[in-house]
Amino acid sequence: MKKVLIVYWSSSGNTETMAKSVAKGVTDGGGEAILKTPEAGLAELVKSADALAFGSPAMGDELIEEDEMEPFIASLGADILKDKPLGLFGSYDWGDGQWMRSWTDRMKGLGAKLDGEGIIAQLVPGEAELAKCSELGKRLAT
């Protein structure tokens, strides 16, 4: 059974809703979903996971959330991410998704095997976006 680690940050719940859909997709796909918010000691879980999914809303000025998500992401080097299947997702509001393009490029630069270009939802994710999250979870679980 594939172990899929989902790490997300969410303030008003939009990215959290997406994270839960990814987790449901993992479970539906026969995998084990581990849902976490950024915290110390996740490095071992990241290493041992078969696949990863990370979620953050656009914050600051087209950045991932800076106080918790950014330090977590910055702690992951190419040694951990190289060839690891990874999906990104998150909610935004007034931008054009630049934060997700930058984040995707950054993770690709570390050698992660990106699944798609990142799933984005403007504010509250709709059915179509949640279906994409669930499909991502299924792919990561198989």
Ligand X SMILES: Cc1cc2nc3c(=O)[nH]c(=O)nc-3n(C[C@H](O)[C@H](O)[C@H](O)COP(=O)(O)O)c2cc1C
Beta carbon of residue 1, minimum distance to ligand X (angstroms, whole number): 29
Beta carbon of residue 86, minimum distance to ligand X (angstroms, whole number): 19
Helices (H), the chain: 14-28, 43-48, 69-74, 78-81, 98-109, 127-141
Residue 79 or 127 having the CB closest to ligand X: 127
Residue 2 or 101 having the CB closest to ligand X: 101
Beta carbon of residue 129, minimum distance to ligand X (angstroms, whole number): 12
Binding positions for ligand X, rule: CB under 6 A: 10-16, 57-62, 91-95, 123
Residue 9 or 138 having the CB closest to ligand X: 9
Token digits for 16?
């959290």
Half-sphere exposure of residue 13: CA atoms within 13 angstroms, side-chain side = 1
Residue 27 or 102 having the CB closest to ligand X: 102
CA–CA gap between residue 58 and residue 17 (Å, rounded)? 15
Residue of 61, 119, 128 whose CA lies nearest to 90: 119
